[in-house]
Structure formats: C-alpha cells, structure tokens
C-alpha cells in the first residue's frame, strides 16, 4: 500500500503540467489513504508533499487530503512530540500552507488508545477513515489515489 502511494505521488510530481491544466471545477482534489509504520516512511510522504509545493499552486491542482489511519498516528501524539518534532512541524507547515489537509481516523485512534486531545489541533479528526475517503469522493468530487 505504501509503495502504491509513493508511486502515485511520484507520478503527480513528474507530470504537473497535465494535472495543473485542469481547472478547480474539474479537479477539486485528491485523497490519499495513508498507513505507514515508521518515522522514515512518514518522512518520505512529507518529502513528496514538499516537492508538490514547489511545483504547483494549490488553487491550480485542488486540495490534497491525507487520511491517516494506522500506526503513524502514534508519531503525532503530543507526548511523542519531542522525538518527532521535525515531522510534526513539517506536517503543520504543509497543512497551514494548504498543500495538504491532514485527517486522522478516530476509530483507529481508539484502537491505538489515542485520546482526541493527544493530537495537534491542525489535524482534523474524522469518525472513520474509509467513510471520509468515500465522502470526499462522492460529495466533493475528490479522486482517490
């Protein structure tokens, strides 16, 4: 799953002209389902998002939603901030710059015993990752990659 995600992000990076040529009405956004298990894997995801920031304006491509629903949620816990500070701050900047919209699955948070207050405020919490991905596709016209 992680390899497929990286392949799709790489494809987006290598073909910005074709994707950016679409107007916002036809390309409202893309949604990625992310489950990674290490800081290094999350670092790769954030690196790709930073690469995208250099290649396009968010208004040209549309939003990119990243729905987290795996062990990577542990990396964002406030009590793990010191050891993951650079990752959390990079994610915060990308979210604030409207490069990505980070969402966390509350169902997985409960399974991992992560309280809602344990995650930073910039991460939007959604009840169930698969339902949020489907909602973004159905109601907002996002493309799942």
Taking each helix axis as running N to C, give the angle between helix 2-14 and helix 39-55, from 0 to 180 degrees, rounded to the nearest 10.
20
pLDDT score recorded for residue 75: 96
Domains present along the chain, CATH in parentheses: 2-144 (3.40.1260.10)
pLDDT score recorded for residue 138: 95
pLDDT score recorded for residue 89: 95
Percentage with pLDDT > 70 across the chain: 75
pLDDT score recorded for residue 61: 67
Percentages of the chain per state (helix, strand, coil), in multiples of 5: 60, 15, 25
| Number of other residues whose CB lies within 10 A of the CB of residue 54 | 9
Stretches where the chain sits below pLDDT 50 are 5-25
DSSP-derived secondary structure letter, 17: H
pLDDT score recorded for residue 17: 31
């Amino acid at each position: 799953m992680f390899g497929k995600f990286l392949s799709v992000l790489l494809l987006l990076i290598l073909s910005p002209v074709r994707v950016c040529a679409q107007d916002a009405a036809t390309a409202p956004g893309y949604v990625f389902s992310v489950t990674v298990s290490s800081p290094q894997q999350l670092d790769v995801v954030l690196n790709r998002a930073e690469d995208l920031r250099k290649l396009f304006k968010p208004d040209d491509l549309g939003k990119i939603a990243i729905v987290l629903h795996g062990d990577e949620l542990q990396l964002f816990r406030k009590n793990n901030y010191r050891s993951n500070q650079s990752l959390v701050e990079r994610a915060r900047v990308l979210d604030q710059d409207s490069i990505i919209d980070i969402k966390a699955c509350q169902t997985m948070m409960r399974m991992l015993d992560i309280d809602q207050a344990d995650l930073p405020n910039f991460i939007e919490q959604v009840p169930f990752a698969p339902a949020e991905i489907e909602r973004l596709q159905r109601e907002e016209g996002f493309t799942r990659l």
